Amino acid sequence: MSAVAEQLRQGREAQNIFPAAVYVRGFVRTYSTLLKLDVPQVMASLETELRQNKRFSEAIPMQQRRGVLDFVMLQLSKLDWKTAAIATAGAFVILVIASIYFVRRHYQSIDPLKDLKPGVYQSTQTLSGQTLPLPAPKK
């Protein structure tokens, strides 16, 4: 065993921290990915080595059934927050623009003079293209 590994083991034992196979697997997977190695091949080799060690040879306990919250939390942990923030801001801008468009369209379709009495205002919609009569010229 290398001197570094021995130092880490002694430090762990001094603090009564036990190594867990899940942490070993996670570290090896992350480190293999960082080094751009063949991760499935490295993980298969690790599993072979762990099975030979009594401390790690125990079977992995059956995982509990996962609920919707577990699934959502897993997906959120995979999320790239910078990209998500940009996408959320873009969606918000689109939503604001669409809201402004539909509000303007709604208010433009409303006749602002519809509540005036007929003597003051007559709707031009009934004239269908006709012009309003002009006052007689003054002599």
- Over residues 32-72, the pLDDT tens digits come to 999 999 999 999 998 888 888 777 765 555 556 778 888 88
Q: What span, in angstroms and rounded, lies between the C-alpha atoms of 92 and 95?
A: 5
The chain-wide mean pLDDT, for the chain, equals 81
pTM listed for this prediction: 0.35
Q: Which three-class secondary structure state does DSSP give residue 11?
A: helix
Query: Phi/psi at 33 (nearest 5 deg)?
Result: -65, -45
The model's confidence at residue 101, banded by pLDDT at 50, 70 and 90, is very high
Residue with the larger pLDDT of the pair 123 and 107:
107
Token reading at 91: 């969606």
Q: What span, in angstroms and rounded, lies between the C-alpha atoms of 34 and 39?
A: 10
Q: Rounded to whole angstroms, what are the CA distances from 67 to 60, 61, 78, 79?
A: 20, 18, 17, 19
Q: Which three-class secondary structure state does DSSP give residue 131?
A: coil
Quote the pLDDT of residue 138: 80
